[in-house]
Chains A and B, each alone.
Chain A
C-alpha cells in the first residue's frame, strides 16, 4: 500500500509540474518571420525545416508561374514556390528559401528576406477582419516590439490548389 501512495504522490507532483509547464507552452508559440515585398509574414517555427540560400531552381514546364521549379536539397527533390508571384506581386530576384514540411509535403518558399524567430503569445493573434481577409493568412498580430504587424501564413492553404 505504501508503494502505491508513493507512486500516487509522485504522479501528483509530476502532474502539477506538467501543468506549470503547459501553461507556459500554451501561452506562446514560436514564429519565424520573413518579408515579402512590404509584408511581414510569420510561419510556425515547428514546420520550418531549414533556411537555405544560393539554390538555383530547375525550371519545370507546364506548371503555374508561381512554381519556380524544383531544387535539389541534398538528394531530395523539393518544389519551389515564389511567394511574390503567389501573392500576385511583381517577381524579384531573391535567393532566400524557407523549406517547410506541411503534412509530410516538403516545399520551399522563396521569400525576400528572413527576419527572426520570435515568441508570440497565442492570445495576441487575432483573426483577420472578414471584409479585407488576406489570401493565405489565418491570423495577424502586432509585433511585441511594435515594429509592425505580422500576418500568420496559413501553410496548408498555401499548398492547396
Chain B
C-alpha cells in the first residue's frame, strides 16, 4: 500500500467519500422508484469508474477490483437497460449496492485511521459475478449483437498485427482526418510495418468517426508500438491513447488478475469502458438531492475528459477563521474611526464628506462581514440525507415501515455546527426508529395512525439560532416507565413528584436506557446523554417533548456561531455590559410599587399577565449603581429558550454591532463563564464591554434557579 503523499491521500478520501455519498443518494431515490433510470445507471457507472480509477491510483487493490466488477455490471445494465434485471432480483441488486457502499465506506474509514484494508472481497465478487452471469444468460443473443456493434474487440485484431494502439483526438480540434494522417506520417518515420484502421485515414469521410471513436494503428511488433507511443505522447492534439494487445488470451493469462475468469477479455472491456467514459460521459447533472460540493481536481490514473466544471473550490477552514478574525478587527476599527472622540471636538465644523464616506465604509464593512460569514455556511442537506439511509436500513432490519420526511434541508448553518450535529441527529433518528415507531403495524392501525411510520426531520434558521426537530409519530415516551426506571437506577428520588419535562430529562442522563434489550442500534444506554453532550459542545440545548401513544419530538436549539453580533450596551455604575439583542424582548421603566416580593427576598415583576423574576445586575456583580432608586434605572426583559426574566440596569447606551472576543484564559480559571460573562468586546472608543450570557447569568444565581 503505497501512499503517494498525504495530500493525494486526502484528496482521494475526500473524493471517494463524496462519491459514495452521491451514490447513496442515487440508490435511495432509485429504491424508492424501484428501478434505475437510464440517468441513474450512467451516473452510477461514472461513479464506479472514478472509484475504480482513483483506487487503482492509490493501489488499493480490493477496492479497485470491487468497483471494477460493479462497473462491469452497470456497463451491462447501461447497454441493455434495466429490463435485463428480473423484477424479483431488483431488491437483491439494491441490497448488493448498499452493501457495496457500506463495504467501501468501512474500507475508507480503515484507510483514514491507517488500518490495513481487508482483502475479503471474494464473496462480493462472486455475488456480482452471479448477477452478471445471469444477465448474460438471459440475453446472450443480444449480447453478441452489442459486442459487435459497440466494441467488437475481436474484430479490432488484424491478423499479423496483434499490437494495437488506439488514439483519440481532442474533441473539436477539427480536420480529424488530416491530423490522423499527420500522426501516421510521423510514425512512419520510425517504423513502417503497421496498418491503420480505418485504412484510408486521410479521407475526409472518416473524419467524424475518428473524432468520435478515434482511430487504431495495428503493429506487428511491440517495439514498433513503443516507438509510436513516444511520438504520439508529444503531440498536442492527442487527447488520449491506449495500447491494446490482441495476443491470444492464454499467452498472458498468468500475469492477470485471479478474480477475473477471462482476464484478457476483461481487460479489453475495461479499456473500452475507459474510452466510453472519456468520450461519452455526459456532463452528469448533479443528483437533485446532493448538495453542491467542491469537486477537487480529479487525479485519476485514467485521463478524464470533460468533467463538469464546477466553479467551487475547497478551502481550509482555518483560513476562513483567519478571515473572520480580520473582518472582526475591521468592524472594530471602523467603529473606532467613525466614533472617534476627536470628532467630538469638531462640532460646528462641516463634516459632510467625512460622514458620507463613513456611511459608505459602514455599508461595505457590513457587506464584507456578511460574505465572510456566508463562506462558512453549508446546507444541512448532506447530514439530513444520510438519515434516509439509516431509516431504510433500520426499517428493513427491524421489519418496520417508516418514511423520512425532510423539511428545510436548504437551511444553511455553520460548518462546525453541521459537523457537530451529525451524530446527535443520527442517535435520535435511531431512537425514533427503534423505540418510537411501533413494531406491529396493527398497533398503529388500532391507534388510528397510518400503518407506515413517519419521521420528520426539519431544520429552521430563526436568525439567532438553528432549530432542528426530529419528530416521530410512534409510541411516544411512557413517562411512568421512565420514572420507575429512574427510581430503580437511583437517579430519581421516589419521594419527589417530577414534572413531565423533568422525567424526560432523565432520558438524557448517562447510562439511562428504557429499552430492556440491547439491540444492534440502541439500548446500550449511550445515546441521549451523548446527544446532549455533543449539542452542548456547540452551546446548544436539547429539548424533549413526548405524548404517550402519539409520538415524541426532540428539538435541538443551537445558537448561530457569529463572531459578530448586535448587542445592546447597558451601563451599570462605571461598567458597560453588552446584552445580545436577540435575547432582549423589551425594555421598560418601573417603580417600586410594580415589584412583588416573595418570601425568599426575591423580586418579581408582572408583565403581560405573567410573573418574571427581577435580577439587579449591580447586586449580582457587586457594583455601585448610579441609579439607586428603581425608577431611575431601567428594566431589560430578556429571554432565552429556557428562561425569561427582567434585568435591572442603570441605563441603556444604545445598540451596537460588536465583535465577540474571548476572555483571557487566565480569567477563565476563576469560573467567570459560569457567572454569566461569555466574552468581551472592544467599543468604538477603545473601552471594553463585557458580554452577558443571559441564561448563565440567572442559572448561576441560586436564588432564581428555574428548577
Contacts and interface: CB of A to CB of B under 8 A. Distances in A.
Contact of A59 (B574, B662, B669): B574
Interface in A146-161: 159, 161
Contacts of A71: 688
Nearest to B573: A59
Closest 6 CB pairs of A and B: A61-B621, A58-B688, A62-B675, A79-B664, A63-B670, A79-B666
Contacts of A64: 670
A106 B664 CA distance: 8
B137 to A, nearest CB: 71
A58 B687 CA distance: 8
Interface string A77-119: 1110000000000000000000000000111000000000000
B332 A62 contact: no
A107 B664 contact: yes
Contacts, number: 66
A77 B682 CA distance: 9
A72 interface: yes
Interface of A: 58-64, 67, 70-72, 75, 77-79, 105-107, 159, 161
B622 interface: yes
B226 to A, nearest CB: 43
Contacts of B690: 58, 60
A67 B666 CA distance: 10
Contacts of A60: 667, 672, 677, 690
Contacts of B661: 77
A138 to B, nearest CB: 20
A61 B675 contact: yes
A61 to B, nearest CB: 3
A153 B661 CA distance: 30
Given A61-B623, A77-B663, A67 B670 contact: yes
Interface string B575-603: 11000000000000000000000000000
A78 B664 contact: yes
Given A72-B682, A72-B686, A62 B621 contact: yes
A61 B622 contact: yes
Interface in B665-691: 665-667, 669-672, 675, 677, 680, 682, 686-690
Contact of A159 (B576, B622, B666, B688): B666
Contacts of A105: 664-666
Contacts of B621: 61-62
Contacts of B664: 70, 77-79, 105-107
B329 interface: yes
Nearest to B618: A61
Contacts of B620: 61
A64 B670 CA distance: 8
Nearest to B623: A61
A67 B667 contact: yes
B680 A70 contact: yes
Contacts of B665: 105
A56 to B, nearest CB: 8
Contacts of B686: 72
Nearest to B700: A62
B570 to A, nearest CB: 14
Contacts of A72: 682, 686-688
A132 B620 CA distance: 40
B332 A63 contact: no
A34 to B, nearest CB: 20
A107 B663 CA distance: 12
Nearest to B667: A79
16 contacts: A58-B575, A58-B576, A58-B688, A59-B575, A60-B677, A62-B621, A62-B672, A63-B667, A75-B329, A75-B682, A77-B662, A77-B664, A79-B664, A105-B664, A105-B666, A159-B666
B688 to A, nearest CB: 4
Interface string B630-674: 000000000000000000000000000000011111110111100
Interface in B398-446: none
A44 to B, nearest CB: 19
A24 B682 CA distance: 45
B675 A77 contact: no
Nearest to A70: B688
Given A61-B677, A70-B664, A105-B665, A77 B670 contact: no
Contacts of A59: 574-575, 623
A155 B672 CA distance: 22
Contacts of B669: 161
Contacts of A67: 667, 670
A107 B662 CA distance: 15
Contacts of B671: 62
A107 B666 CA distance: 8
A112 to B, nearest CB: 22
A61 B329 CA distance: 26
Nearest to B574: A59
Interface string B687-702: 1111000000000000
Contacts of B677: 60-62
Given A58-B575, A72-B687, 15 more contacts: A58-B687, A58-B688, A59-B623, A60-B667, A60-B677, A61-B622, A62-B621, A62-B670, A64-B670, A70-B680, A71-B688, A75-B332, A77-B688, A107-B664, A107-B666
Contacts of B576: 58
Nearest to B663: A77
A63 to B, nearest CB: 5
Given A59-B574, A60-B672, A77 B680 contact: yes
Contacts of B670: 62-64, 67, 161
A70 B667 contact: yes
Contacts of B575: 58-59, 61
Contacts of B574: 59
Contacts of B623: 59, 61
B328 to A, nearest CB: 9
Contacts of B332: 75
A107 B329 CA distance: 21
B73 to A, nearest CB: 57
A139 to B, nearest CB: 24
A66 to B, nearest CB: 11
Interface in B528-577: 574-576
Nearest to B661: A77
- Among B622, B664, B677, B680, which residue has the most Cβ atoms of chain A within 10 A? B664
